[in-house]
Structure formats: C-alpha cells, structure tokens
C-alpha cells in the first residue's frame, strides 16, 4: 500500500502496523527524533475531506508518540501544499496544525519549504496557542544555494536570525551532504541552532522510478562534516534508510564540533570591473528626463538591421534602448544576447526584458549571470505573455517564477554574486487596469522585493495618472509608455488584439482607411506627443515602443518630447 504516492500518509489509518514498523526500525538504528508521517497530508487532502485529514494527522502523531516512548522526541511534521490554490493550502495546513495542537504536540517542524512567508503565520498561530511549543523551520536548497522561490541562503539566514517565532532552522532535501556542506560555509559562525538533513545523494531513473543508491558509509562519513558548533539536529532526508542513520550514528561517536566554522575561502581582493557600458541608474538618480526606446530582436540570426536602428537612435540622443523577450510568445533572438551585442555596438545602457514564461529558476539565474558578465546593469523583470492557443500541446510554458519572484531572485543575486556592482531592477506597471488598487498593491510588492523603476503599458489618456503619481510618491521611478499608431489598421489592431492596450475612440477617429502612410504616421506622432505633454510633469521619462522597429519614427517622436 505504501508504494502508492497517495497511500503514504493514508497508511497511518489503513496500515498503521507498517508505519509503526518503520518508526521502530529508525529508532533501533539510533534515531532520537521521529517525524510524524504527515508531511504531505495537507497536499493530499486539501479541503476535500477535513475529517479524513484530521484522522490521518492524529493517527500519525499517535503512532510516532507510541513508538518513541521515552527514547526519542516526536516532531509534528508539516509540509507545503504547492499543488493547491494558496487559500485552500492555508486552510488545509491550519487543520493539520489544529489537529496537532488538540493532540498535545510540543515540537513542530515545517520542512522542505522555499520561503519563510509560506509558514510564518502558522508559526505565530502555534506560539499564540502554545507559547512553550518548539518550532523548527527547514528549507530546501538547490546545489547553488537558492530555494525554488529564488531566495539565497544568506537571505534565509538573515530572516531566521531575526525571527522570534523560530527556535531551530536549517535545511533538508534537495541536495546531498557534499553540496550542503559547501552552502553551510556561507553562514555566520554564530547564530541560532541549526538542523541539517541532506538527501543521501542524487537519484537516478530506474524502471520509471527515482532510486537513490548512495552507500550508508559514504553518507555517514560525508554528513559528519556538517557538524558545527551551531548544529543541534542532524539526520537524513530522501534516500536515507535505517542503515544510513545507523552508520551516521556510529560515525558521530566521539565527534566534537569544530571551534570555528570552515568559511568559504576569501577571494583575493580584485578591483571591481568597471561596467563596459553606462548605467541607466546613473541618469535616473540625477532626476533627468529619461528617454528609453524599445526594439524587438530579429527572428533570424542577422542583427545588422537592428544594429542600424540602434545607431540611429544613439545619434538622435536617446538615453537607453530596451530589448524585448519574445513578446506574444513569438520566437525572437535571446534578449540578453541581443542586448549585449547592442551595448557593444552603441555604448548605450541596454535594458533587456527577461520573462518567466520560457525559463525555470535555474535558466533565469544563468541568463542573469550572462547579462552581468556582459556589462548589463539593468533588467526589466516580467512574467511574459501567455502561449497562444495554437501552440499549446507543442510549446509548454514554464512560469517557475512570476515577475515578483524574478525580482526577488535578482535582488538576492544583487546581495550575493553582484554585491560589488548590483543591477537596477525594473518592473512593469499597467495604469489602465480596471482595478488600480490591485495594480498599486502589486507595484508596492515589487518595490519591497527590489524594483526601483517601472515601465508602463502604452498610455493614450490620463486615466492612469493617479496610479502613476502614487507609485512615484512611494519612491518608484516611472517611464510612461508611448506607442504611436502608424495607420488605421495598426490602430485597430493595437486596440482590439494586443493585451493591455485600449485606444480611446477619440484617438481612433484620427485615422481612416484611405489616409496616406505619411499622414497616418503624422497623426499618430501628434496624438502621442499631446498625451506626453500632459503626462510629463508626472513622469521620470518616457518609454517609446517602436512600431515595426521603425527607428525613424522614434527619432521624430523623441524630437517632439525634448
């Protein structure tokens, strides 16, 4: 029964003898803390069967308690429910916690989490109900030291150290002992007690199953190296059998925590490299009107037309060029690669867009490292347009992170890898939304996460002026988006088919099907310049979105804005 994923926690009720035997095997191996078999209970049940959830949780606690007796502690195990909608997850997790409290649990562990915000409200609830309760928080890291939400080990350390709700914190799952040891070197020598529970190693695929085959002796000898003067709990996660725990128990005999932590070696002092290109932040901090112009990367590998357009804009005196990341999910050249080339060719600060649709967290970090290496010091973090219906089934969206998660990831890297030369983080703002309070709340969250600059959707009237003013009053810089229609057909397309754009009827009436191309361009430029003049007192600058990569039109608009 326990071989089925759904059966693991249910076995507390359907096969208690099996769970009792497993607990007893770990006790016999030397374990002195048992976690209840309830890790995925909230994720398994959700709110579909509250009574069944309570039965499984109370059964798990009673089984562990009966086995532990006076030989071991029992930790009430709470795991994340990432498969559920946030509201449902919180409700199910609260049922788990209430059941533990009703059954006199004293020690709680929140394990395999990616962000303290996912469980700190639960911790507050527990401490209010039972002030004597001991709470352990355990996070899962990737081998390079980040959680799935993009939080670094140093950020977790700062939050946990300052949090009075958490008594012990540390890490489990995700990595083997060798990679966890490397990450622990980044922690301060002193601080709250730590728990370390690595996997036995990394799994391999075998007969459609993930199998761990690291030997108990190797695990034990390597995991002993995680002992520091802060370590209070040490054990194992995925792939660790009673044999692994027995070997670890034997290896720990006589081990004394080192007097100092082995810190990551300090690199020789190297003068930070001056970025190859000017930085947008330098102009923004001088409170000068900033003009950014957007260009689309090519659909082929040929960049010469785009470089020519960028040089035309450079000669016209624009302050920065932004580079899109496959808008509307239509494949274009990689935005970071394209931005790096334009920066080398023009010497301008280039602002690449990076969207979350096509990359997981690892790929996003890889792109950011590449951008920084190329001298790029400003990034627009966006979620990305949805995949068109016709692509579905062939092209799969990723969305491992959203724009807020990407902003947090960049800010984490600014504090770690880019600490000597951080990136400016830009974000999107839509002044024309139906619910401006919701958009303002999102903007505030983005600013809290590290964004300092906002680029808006194209504006064609003053409806969103109040939202822009409130963002600026909160300390954000705002470049107002301007996209001139250049023909009757183009105006209709923008208004009817492009997400987030609505052109007022009064402006649409300036265009007619039989007008000349020149007349249509002039009408679009004049209308755009008019709204810009009205908005300029409330703008830090303008974000000019180039129709069809026609730099000549942007040069004309730029002249009218000065």
Cite the DSSP H helix spans in 69-119: 86-102
Which domains, from first to last, does the chain contain? 7-252 (3.20.20.330), 287-484+539-551 (3.20.20.220)
For every residue of 147-191, which 3-state class applies, written as one string? CCCCCEHHHHHHHHHHCCCCCEEEEECCCCHHHHHHHHCCCCCCC
DSSP single-letter state for residue 114: S
Quote the CA–CA distance of 23 and 3 in Å, as a whole number. Answer: 17
pLDDT in the model for residue 3: 43
DSSP single-letter state for residue 264: P
Quote the CA–CA distance of 397 and 407 in Å, as a whole number. Answer: 19
Q: Which segments in the chain show pLDDT lower than 50?
A: 1-3, 261-272, 274, 276
If we measure between CA atoms, which residue out of 179, 142, 177, 187 comes closest to residue 248? Answer: 177
- Give pTM, 2 decimals: 0.81
pLDDT in the model for residue 260: 53
pLDDT in the model for residue 548: 92
Beta bridge partners of 109: 77, 136
Residues belonging to the chain: 562
pLDDT in the model for residue 205: 80
pLDDT in the model for residue 395: 83
Angstrom CA distances, 490 to 219, 290, 517, stand at 64, 27, 11
pLDDT in the model for residue 210: 81
pLDDT in the model for residue 276: 46
pLDDT in the model for residue 264: 47
Q: Calculate the CA dihedral of residues 85, 87, 88, 92 and round it to 10 degrees.
A: 130
């Amino acid at each position: 029964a326990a071989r089925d994923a759904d059966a693991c926690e249910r076995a507390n009720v359907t096969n208690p003898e099996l769970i009792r035997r497993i607990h007893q095997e770990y006790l016999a191996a030397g374990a002195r803390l048992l976690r209840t078999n309830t890790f995925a209970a909230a994720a398994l049940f959700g709110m579909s069967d509250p009574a069944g959830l309570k039965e499984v949780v109370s059964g798990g606690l009673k089984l562990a308690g009966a086995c532990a007796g006076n030989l071991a502690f029992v930790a009430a195990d709470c795991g994340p429910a990432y498969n559920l909608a946030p509201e449902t997850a919180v409700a199910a997790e609260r049922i788990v916690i209430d059941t533990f409290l009703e059954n006199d649990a004293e020690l709680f562990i929140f394990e395999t989490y990616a962000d303290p915000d996912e469980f700190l409200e639960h911790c507050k609830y527990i401490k209010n109900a039972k002030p004597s309760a001991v709470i352990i928080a355990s996070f899962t890291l990737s081998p390079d030291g980040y959680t799935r939400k993009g939080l670094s080990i140093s950020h977790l350390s700062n939050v946990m150290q300052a949090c009075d709700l958490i008594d012990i914190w540390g890490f489990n799952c995700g990595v083997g002992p060798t990679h966890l040891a490397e990450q622990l070197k980044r922690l301060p020598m002193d601080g709250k007690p730590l728990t370390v529970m690595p996997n036995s190693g990394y799994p391999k695929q075998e007969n459609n199953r993930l199998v761990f085959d690291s030997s108990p002796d190797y695990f034990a000898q390597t995991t002993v190296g995680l002992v520091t003067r802060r370590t209070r709990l040490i054990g194992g996660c995925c792939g660790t059998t009673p044999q692994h725990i027995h070997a670890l128990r034997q290896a720990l005999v006589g081990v004394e925590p080192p007097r100092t932590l082995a810190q990551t070696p300090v690199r020789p002092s190297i003068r930070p490299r001056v970025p190859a290109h000017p930085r947008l932040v330098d102009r923004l901090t001088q409170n000068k009107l900033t003009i950014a112009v957007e260009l689309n990367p090519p659909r082929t590998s040929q960049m010469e037309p785009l470089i020519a357009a960028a040089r035309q804009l450079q000669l016209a005196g624009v302050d920065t060029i932004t580079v899109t990341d496959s808008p509307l999910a239509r494949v274009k050249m990689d935005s970071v690669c394209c931005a790096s080339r334009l920066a080398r060719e023009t010497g301008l600060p280039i602002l690449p867009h990076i969207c979350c649709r096509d990359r997981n967290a690892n790929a996003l970090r890889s792109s950011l490292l590449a951008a920084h290496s190329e001298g790029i010091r400003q990034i627009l973090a966006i979620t990305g347009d949805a995949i068109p219906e016709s692509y579905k089934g062939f092209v799969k969206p990723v969305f491992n992170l959203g724009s807020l998660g990407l902003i947090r990831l960049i800010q984490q890297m600014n504090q770690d890898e880019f600490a000597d030369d951080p990136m400016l983080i830009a974000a999107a703002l839509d002044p024309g939304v139906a619910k401006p309070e919701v958009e303002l709340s999102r903007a505030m969250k983005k600013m809290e996460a590290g964004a300092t600059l906002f680029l808006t959707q194209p504006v064609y009237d003053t409806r969103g002026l109040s939202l822009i003013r409130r963002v600026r009053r909160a300390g954000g810089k705002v470049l107002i988006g301007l996209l001139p229609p250049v023909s009757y057909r183009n105006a209709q397309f923008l208004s009817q088919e492009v997400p987030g754009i609505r052109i007022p009827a009064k402006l649409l009436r300036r265009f007619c099907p039989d007008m000349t191309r020149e007349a249509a361009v002039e009408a679009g430029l004049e209308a755009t310049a008019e709204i810009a003049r009205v908005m300029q007192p409330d703008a830090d600058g303008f974000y000019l979105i180039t129709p069809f990569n026609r730099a000549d039109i942007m040069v004309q608009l730029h002249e009218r804005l000065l």
